[in-house]
Chain A
C-alpha cells in the first residue's frame, strides 16, 4: 500500500505546486445573498418566467442542489407562510454536510408548537418535497439533476400575522439542525420592497 501512497502524495504535491502563491486573484467581499439569494431567484422564477434566459438561470440554480427550495416561493399568500428548512447533508452552511437528527427535528417541532401565533405545524419529508417539486417543474434538465436526497425536510407553519411569522423565524431560525427559516409574507416583491405590514 505504501508505494501507492507515495505515488499519490508525489502526484498531488506536484499538482498543488503548479499553483503558486504569486498571482492568486485576491478574494473579493461580495454579499452574494443580496444579488443572487435564493429568495430573489425564487421570485424571479415565479414572477418573471421569462422563457429562455430565465430557464437557463434556473437550470443553474437547480444544479446547486442546496437551492432547490428556491422553487417553493411562488404563491403570494401561502397557506403556510413560514417555512423552516431543516439541514440536509447536501447543504452548505450552517448545515456543514450534516443531516438534521431526529432529536433536533423534535426540538424544533416542540419549539414551533409552543410559540404564540402558531396555528398549525406540518412536517414535509424529502419524498413529499420532491413530489411537490416535480409537480411544479416541467423542465427536464432540472428534473434530471435533482434527486430526492437533494430536497430538504421542512416544517410548514401557519401563523396568524406577518409579525408572528417573524417571531417564529427569529425563534427557530438558528436552532441546531435548522438550515434557515423564512417568512414568505415578508419576501421582498421582485427583490425590492416588502409590502406586508408587520415584517
Chain B
C-alpha cells in the first residue's frame, strides 16, 4: 500500500488539487488518505482494486475538507488561492480558468466523475469502482456533468 501511494503520489495530489483547488491542501489530503488507508492495510481484501481504493480514499478526504471548509472551519483555516482563482489566471489562461470555475460549480459526483474521466482517462468501470457507484451511473453522471458544463460555458455541445 505504501509503495502504491509513493508511486501514484503525484497523480493523487493532482486529483485532490482538482477537488480542493490548492496544492498545499491537496498534499495534506493525500497524506491523510495515505495515513488512513495505510493504517487499515490489513483489511484490504482485493489488491487488484488497490488503486481504485486509494483514489477513493483521496476523494473521500477531499469531501471532508470541502465540507469542513463550508462549515466549521470556514473562517479558521486560510488556504492558498485555488487553481481557479484570478491569481492563477495568468498561469493557466482565462479560458481554462473558466472551465475550472464551471467544473467547481457542478455537483460533487459530476465533478469527481469528470476529473476521473477527462484527466485520468479512466473507463466507466474504473470510475464506478473508485466512486462506489455502478457503471451505468458513472456513465450517466459523466454525460450529465458534461452537458451541465457545456451549458454553463455557453458551449454548443
A93 touches B43 (CB 8 A): yes
On whether A31 and B64 interact (CB within 8 A), knowing A4-B153, A96-B56, the answer reads no
Q: Check if A10 is an interface residue, CB within 8 A of chain B.
A: yes
Closest to B96 in A: A11
Interface residues on B, range: 35 or more
Q: How far is the CB of A19 from chain B (nearest CB, A)?
A: 5
* C-alpha gap A94/B93 in the complex (Å): 41
Contact A9 B119 (CB under 8 A): yes
State whether the Cβ of A148 lies closer than 8 Å to any Cβ in chain B.
no
Given contacts A1-B150, A3-B155, A93-B44, contact A19 B36 (CB under 8 A): no
Query: Which residues of chain A are near B38, meaning CB under 8 Å?
Result: 29, 31
**B83 close to A15 (CB less than 8 A):** yes
Of the candidates A3, A19, A141, A145, the one whose C-beta lies within 8 Å of that of B14 is A19
B146 touches A27 (CB 8 A): no
Complex contact B27–A63 (CB within 8 A): no
Q: Is the interface of B mostly helix, strand, loop or mixed?
A: helix
Name the contact of A7 in the complex, choosing from B10, B71, B155 (C-beta under 8 A): B155
A24 touches B56 (CB 8 A): no
B56 contacts which of A9, A60, A97, A141 (Cβ < 8 Å)? A97
Which residues of chain A from 39 to 90 have a CB within 8 Å of any chain B CB? Answer: 56, 59-60, 63-66, 89
Assembly CA distance A40 to B16 (angstroms): 28
Q: List residues of chain B with CB under 8 Å of any chain A CB.
A: 2, 5-6, 9-10, 13-14, 17-18, 23, 26-27, 30-32, 34-40, 43-45, 49, 52-53, 56-57, 60, 64, 67-68, 71-73, 83, 88, 91-93, 95-97, 99-100, 103, 114-115, 118-119, 129, 131-133, 146, 149-150, 153, 155-157
Q: A92-B36, A92-B37, A174-B43 are in contact. List 15 more A-B contacts (CB 8 A).
A: A8-B146, A10-B96, A12-B18, A12-B118, A25-B27, A25-B31, A60-B72, A66-B60, A92-B40, A93-B43, A94-B43, A96-B56, A97-B131, A98-B132, A141-B71
